[in-house]
Structure 1
Amino acid sequence: MKKNILNSLFILSAILLFSACKAKREVVVAPPAKEVVKDNSKADAITLLTNKQLKFNTLALKAKATLDIDGNANDVTMNFRIKDKETIWVSITAAGGIVEVARALITPDSIKILNKLKSEYLKKPFSYIYNFTNKQVNFNTLQAILTGNAAADFLTAQSEIKQNNGVWLVTGNKENLAYRLLFNTLLKVNETNLNDAKNGQALKVTYTDYQKLNEFLFPSAIQINTLSGTKKININLQFTKIDGNVALDFPFSVPKRYTLVK
């Protein structure tokens, strides 16, 4: 009997390992950069880059993450569920994904956060995010940051768009916000920089290891570094699950014992 159980466990482990290997998508290698002589118009460049943007209805993402807030770093698991232009749902778990410590629901109008460690509930308008970033950052900008896209507000005729050493560079200003987007040779964002010198706010996002998601590309890893005054938040995301256009729900309920944070 013991032998049969061990054999069954071995077979099950082999099946799970095979499935995990099969599910892992291959990284698309970006070709080497080379100087391009062709002189594209700004409109042509915008069309070229826009056509490579990830298009989706929903996304289900799971990532191993290191969350560092002012030097206090913790390894967590983060699950994201995104409905295009409508909802970003986030669940943060610790202890190997066993214990949920926080949950957030973000829409273009509001931000709701459950702190399950402290039994606290935060409900604020979307403008609450401006405590940490520039007022030019809206819901669609936040969604773009999480999905490896260039925010539509930056791919416009008002931006400076040029090739630099064979790759596209998009720069410009929106009131106090200076933005700089560097693309790789796959025509996907390699680095996004947002800076508000007046208010001492900065955001740098780096994307690596793009992989296929349907007919588009999605980054396997995202490094987010933010600075707002003296407050620093760094998030390193290594995605272990990336599913597009799947049926999703966004569960979010507040237990009666939770305290509303004013």
Structure 2
Amino acid sequence: MNKWIASILFILVLFSCKTRKTVEQSTEGKDSIQVEKPKNDKPIDVGENVYDPVTFYEKVYIHPQFEALKISSKITSDDIKVSPLDATIYIETDKKIFASINFLFINAARALITPEGIKAMDKYNKNYIDSDFDYLNNLLNVNFIDYKNLENLLIGRTFLTIKGRNSRLTQNMQGYQLASISNIKIETGETTREYKIVLQYSPDYDLIQAKLQDANSDDSLEILYDGWETYQNEIRLPKNVKIIIKGSKNSQILLENTKFDFSRMDTRYSVPSSYKKIEIQ
């Protein structure tokens, strides 16, 4: 059990490079987690063009705001031998994401993500990471994750903008589909990648599926949302978030959000001097 904690960090989208190989070997030959996709996640047939898209764009890009959100969640992953795990994910809008992972009621790992970067510590193995978002993008096989995109991804809000002449918005009985007509080029630092992007929404404008396919490789990232409910101030949040990574890396992660609380919480994070820093390569 001395290595399973490191895989928890991936659930926070923070996998440790040093221990990932060991975790994958420990699950070799094991079936991936079997989690049903949302009932409404089947591809939407191309419908009629939406000739008045203003309301659609307002609904999917402009949302009621909150200052703080605490999510109680159970996490299942085919990279974790012991699951589901109990997690608390706390968000202060535009400021920080704090996460705490418990195993058998013992706090085993913590993470703190801010616009400046990512910090996480593994209390079992007594080590930690301190990195920027390049690390996270490499783990997910993408290059567009920054703080705000991650925050939006976790709560089911549209995390990429597709508008203008390079997009097609259609509607039918199943809802809406917003897709890139040609590949979307995303430049971050010295890295440039192109993606085919398809976003599916329910008739009520809830994000159901986001799929990004790399134009020059088999790498893809898919996020599925369901169980949408309305909370205070008309805030819509999903009960289930499933992340599927395919290509040069393969993984599936399911977050089952059991409770949403809009109160503030303590986000104490400090690394003991005896902990060893994991160098990112």
TM-score range for the pair, normalised by the shorter chain length: 0.7 to 0.9
| TM-score, length of structure 1 as denominator length | 0.76
Q: Which runs of 5+ in 1 are unaligned?
A: 1-29
RMSD of equivalent CA atoms: 2.5
The reply on whether 1:88 has 2:88 as its aligned counterpart is no
Q: In structure 2, what is the equivalent of residue 159 of structure 1?
A: 167
Percent of residue pairs identical: 22
What is the CA–CA distance in structure 2 between the aligned matches of 1:141 and 1:200, rounded to whole Å?
22
Q: In structure 2, what is the equivalent of residue 41 of structure 1?
A: 52
What is the CA–CA distance in structure 2 between the aligned matches of 1:247 and 1:154, rounded to whole Å?
30
Query: What amino acid does structure 2 have at the position aligned with 1:136?
Result: F
Query: What amino acid does structure 2 have at the position aligned with 1:85?
Result: D
What is the CA–CA distance in structure 2 between the aligned matches of 1:90 and 1:202, rounded to whole Å?
26
Within 5 Å, give how 1:3-152 maps onto structure 2: 39-51=50-62, 53=63, 55-69=65-79, 72=81, 74-95=83-104, 98-133=105-140, 134-151=142-159
Q: In structure 1, what is the equivalent of residue 199 of structure 2?
A: 181
Tell me, yes or no, if the aligned pair for 2:50 and 2:170 is still in contact at 8 Å: no
Larger radius of gyration: 1
The reply on whether 1:255 has 2:272 as its aligned counterpart is yes
User: Which of residues 171, 176, 181 in structure 2 aligns to 1:168?
Assistant: 176
Q: In structure 2, what is the equivalent of residue 202 of structure 1?
A: 220
Pairwise CA distance, 1:222: 1.4
What is the CA–CA distance in structure 2 between the aligned matches of 1:63 and 1:147, rounded to whole Å?
12
Q: What CA deviation, in whole Å up to 9, does each residue of 1:35-82 have, x standing for no partner?
A: 99794334443124334x45322110011221322x746220111011
Q: In structure 2, what is the equivalent of residue 13 of structure 1?
A: none
Pairwise CA distance, 1:150: 1.0
What is the CA–CA distance in structure 2 between the aligned matches of 1:156 and 1:250, rounded to whole Å?
37
Q: In structure 2, what is the equivalent of residue 14 of structure 1?
A: none
Q: Which runs of 5+ in 2 are unaligned?
A: 1-39, 186-193
Tell me, yes or no, if the aligned pair for 1:36 and 1:166 is still in contact at 8 Å: no
Within 5 Å, give how 1:218-257 maps onto structure 2: 218-227=237-246, 229=248, 231-244=249-262, 246-257=263-274
What is the CA–CA distance in structure 1 between the aligned matches of 2:247 and 2:269, rounded to whole Å?
28
Q: Which structure dedicates a bigger proportion of its chain to strand?
A: 1
Q: What CA deviation, in whole Å up to 9, does each residue of 1:134-163 have, x standing for no partner?
A: 112222221111101111x32533532221
What is the CA–CA distance in structure 1 between the aligned matches of 2:67 and 2:51, rounded to whole Å?
31
Tell me, yes or no, if the aligned pair for 1:136 and 1:177 is still in contact at 8 Å: no
What is the CA–CA distance in structure 2 between the aligned matches of 1:235 and 1:249, rounded to whole Å?
26
What is the CA–CA distance in structure 1 between the aligned matches of 2:219 and 2:65, rounded to whole Å?
29
What is the CA–CA distance in structure 1 between the aligned matches of 2:139 and 2:97, rounded to whole Å?
18
Change (3 A) 1:119 1:141: same
Q: In structure 1, what is the equivalent of residue 5 of structure 2?
A: none
Tell me, yes or no, if the aligned pair for 1:58 and 1:247 is still in contact at 8 Å: yes
Change (3 A) 1:37 1:223: closer
Pairwise CA distance, 1:186: 1.8
Query: What amino acid does structure 1 have at the position aligned with 2:175?
Result: V
What is the CA–CA distance in structure 2 between the aligned matches of 1:60 and 1:187, rounded to whole Å?
23
User: Which of residues 183, 187, 211 in structure 1 aligns to 2:229?
Assistant: 211
Q: What CA deviation, in whole Å up to 9, does each residue of 1:81-130 have, x standing for no partner?
A: 111122111111112xx122211111122111101121001011122112
Pairwise CA distance, 1:200: 4.2
